[in-house]
Amino acid sequence: MDSTMAQDLIDGLESLTAILPQLNTAMAEATAVVHAVDQFLAEELAVGPWVASRPFDSQRAIGDDGRELLITSHLACGRVAGKYRLHVLNATLDKSDGKDQFTQIVGEERTPWLSCSREVRLQSFSMLPEVLSQLASKINEITTQTTKTVETVREVLKSMGRYPTQSPAQPVSPQPPYNRPDVHDDEYANNGYVVSSSGSDLFKRPKVK
């Protein structure tokens, strides 16, 4: 090895050594941002929509039967392991019959962002603004559609003479649970809420104190 090559190697190692602290700081800041976003998503958008970014990575693979497949990686937002959070979606794509493009999804793998490798976290983090923008747009779309649906249903109920006369904004006085025919006393006593007679916990009401 000549002296010029040796010096180039030394210079390269010194450059890497100098930039590593900056990389570690950037990674720590990115992790803190994702922690904050995940907390917001879990607390405010527990039933929010699922969105995904454009691929930040793609690789060719061979299936068990010898077919060529394409694996694309995306930063996504949705429910994973029982929690609404940021995650990385690895989608396995196959070619549709008679097509040259990989358009048919034949497999998916979702991993919480915080559980991904350092390399994947660094690659995917740049897609976060895109994901949050898509999420805001989707929520706005859902909100608009819900408002229109409420108005439509309200007009239908009014035409049938079935629309409630009491404004939803007016508080309703709590009723003693023993006067309600749909109360399960055991659930009320043990868990602090009452359940409708159908057994669904979608209609939980707070325990009256």
pLDDT in tens, 73-128: 999 999 998 899 999 999 999 987 767 788 888 899 999 999 999 999 999 999 99
Say yes or no to pLDDT of 196 above 80: no
C-alpha distances out from residue 107 to 66, 74, 80, 110, Å: 16, 14, 16, 10
Task: Give the other-Cβ count within 10 Å of 190's Cβ.
Answer: 9
Q: What is the domain extent for residue 114?
A: 12-143
Overall domain count for the chain: 1
Indicate whether 159 belongs to any domain: no
Band of pLDDT at residue 3, cut at 50, 70 and 90: confident
d(CA 84, CA 5): 51
Token look-up 């009014």 returns 158
From the list 98, 100, 101, 76, the residue with the least C-alpha distance to 87 is: 76
Tokens read off for 8: 């180039």
d(CA 110, CA 86): 10
d(CA 32, CA 15): 26
Indicate whether 102 belongs to any domain: yes
Indicate whether 65 belongs to any domain: yes
pTM of the model: 0.67
Indicate whether 2 belongs to any domain: no
Indicate whether 133 belongs to any domain: yes
Band of pLDDT at residue 191, cut at 50, 70 and 90: very low
Indicate whether 201 belongs to any domain: no
From the list 80, 90, 73, the residue with the least C-alpha distance to 127 is: 73
Indicate whether 5 belongs to any domain: no
Query: Which residues is 205 bridged to in the sheet?
Result: 194
CB 76 within 8 A of CB 50: yes
Indicate whether 162 belongs to any domain: no
